[in-house]
Amino acid sequence: MEFNRLTIHELQEKLRDGSLTSVEITESVYQRIASVEEKVHSYITLMEETAIGQARAADRRIKEGTAGELTGIPIALKDILCTEGVRTTCGSHILENAVFVGKTNMDEFAMGSSTETSRFGITKNPWDLERIPGGSSGGSAAAVAADECIASLGTDTGGSIRQPAALCGVVGMKPTYGRVSRFGMVAFASSLDQIGPITKDVEDCAIMMNVISGHDTGDSTSVPAEVPDYKKFISRDIRNWTVGIPGEYFVEGIDLEIKAAVDQTVNTLEAIGAKCTRISLPHTEYCVAVYYIIAPSEASSNLARYDGVRYGFRATGEEDLLDMYKKTRSSGFGAEVKRRIMLGTYSLSSGYYDAYYKKASQVRALIRDDFNNAFKRCDVILTPTTPTPAFRVGEKVDDPLQMYLSDIFTLSANLAGIPGISVPCGYTKSGLPMGVQFMANHFEEGKLLQIASAYEKNSKVERRMPEL
């Protein structure tokens, strides 16, 4: 049996009753990796010997009765998350002198929507190897979709969990800002970044959220709010719920097959007792502009530390200190990262701060107010996750504006700090996955899991596997 194809909750049962060991699961995952990784390129490198040792230790804990929810389950980590004893690259040349162990591929410093900006090569979509998996957590989503792990962690600054999850046909959640500790995460845009799970189904997402949520004194933005048992929201009904559908998200240019799939999602929800109603989020048209002022500005500040002095890549042949800085950052960062640093530095510069960053922050408050007002009328909001299915490798890499528009439906949740989840909602005629997004008010991840689970169980969307 191919144990790598199973979900977390399916494997938990087998681990508990002793019919399966963690070593067997881990070996199955690595057999799958050996079979398809050359095609997909989900990982930067692997840690098989260490992982098998961890699996043996997990089997001992299970026998002793001291196992936690994820004990024995092979999980992949995006290469933006720091791990003890393992250096972290963020997919960048400037941190290239790292030892890579079990980290998934990503857009450089999480700046991208296709995983094409990685210094370590492009990850391919398991459903069509000529297409992108989304980004920046493309490696994490592709690894789950290709059964190269059981679940994974990604990060989401403007849609980097939900967008690749939709394009790869898996589940991805961005928690409320402050719900999950970011301690050990390399910062991109500190007021937007969140860590979250990418899984094969909604129940696995709830299990992962149980493990990663909660207050952490190591992260000053971590909120000391009570964490519910998210598994209790699975399989609850949503009768008499009100689902808001914002007209601003059904813009000209949205793929017709995606629109049809979202319309079918509405039909499914109404058939199981929810009321779907039109709402307005009037400042939606400003989201992309606001995001691409705030995120690059914060990136410019956060990435100033990579100067070749304390750690990472350092250019040689410098004439003086300033020349070393210039050569290190020019050759260490890729084109997209340099583009965003320049955008951000300009927005923060003297004479322009009030016109750009300050104004964007004010409009961001209006966007947040839109959501606050909407949630007075509805329980959750439903939108497409992406405007199109996965596009071809190289199709948008030289057109930054078109690439930025790939996240047009996801960045608003980051700007407002609210949680969002993407769930598979069907396949195009050519067999590419599509995703639908649900958003809820702050710290209402339980609601998202409840409606996502209800939809998953009642929709007619079959769970397919990429052929590879």
Active site positions, annotated: 78, 136, 160
Angle at 175 between CA 260 and CA 223, to 5 degrees: 155
Angle at 205 between CA 189 and CA 233, to 5 degrees: 115
**Distance between CA 179 and CA 195 in Å, rounded?**
9
Helix, strand or coil, per DSSP, at residue 159: coil
**Distance between CA 101 and CA 122 in Å, rounded?**
18
Question: CB 359: neighbour CB atoms within 10 A?
Answer: 15
DSSP classification of residue 266: H
DSSP classification of residue 277: E
The gap from C-alpha 139 to its chain's centroid, in whole angstroms, comes to 10
DSSP lists the bridge partners of residue 439 as: 381, 420
**Distance between CA 334 and CA 306 in Å, rounded?**
13
Angle at 437 between CA 433 and CA 443, to 5 degrees: 140
Inter-residue contact 175 to 196 (CB < 8 Å)? yes
**Distance between CA 133 and CA 39 in Å, rounded?**
13
Helix, strand or coil, per DSSP, at residue 446: helix
For 131, counting Cβ atoms within 10 Å of its Cβ (0-12 exposed, 13-18 middle, 19+ buried), the class is: buried
**Distance between CA 468 and CA 460 in Å, rounded?**
24
**Distance between CA 206 and CA 9 in Å, rounded?**
10
Looking from the CA of 251 toward its CB, the CA atoms found within 13 Å total 14
Helix, strand or coil, per DSSP, at residue 114: coil
| Nearest CA among 458, 284, 256, 246 for reference residue 367 | 284
CA-to-CA separations, 335 to 44, 155, 180, 322, 326, in angstroms, rounded: 20, 21, 31, 21, 14
| Block residue for tokens 């690894």 | 143
The gap from C-alpha 15 to its chain's centroid, in whole angstroms, comes to 28
Amino acid, single-letter form, for residue 21: T
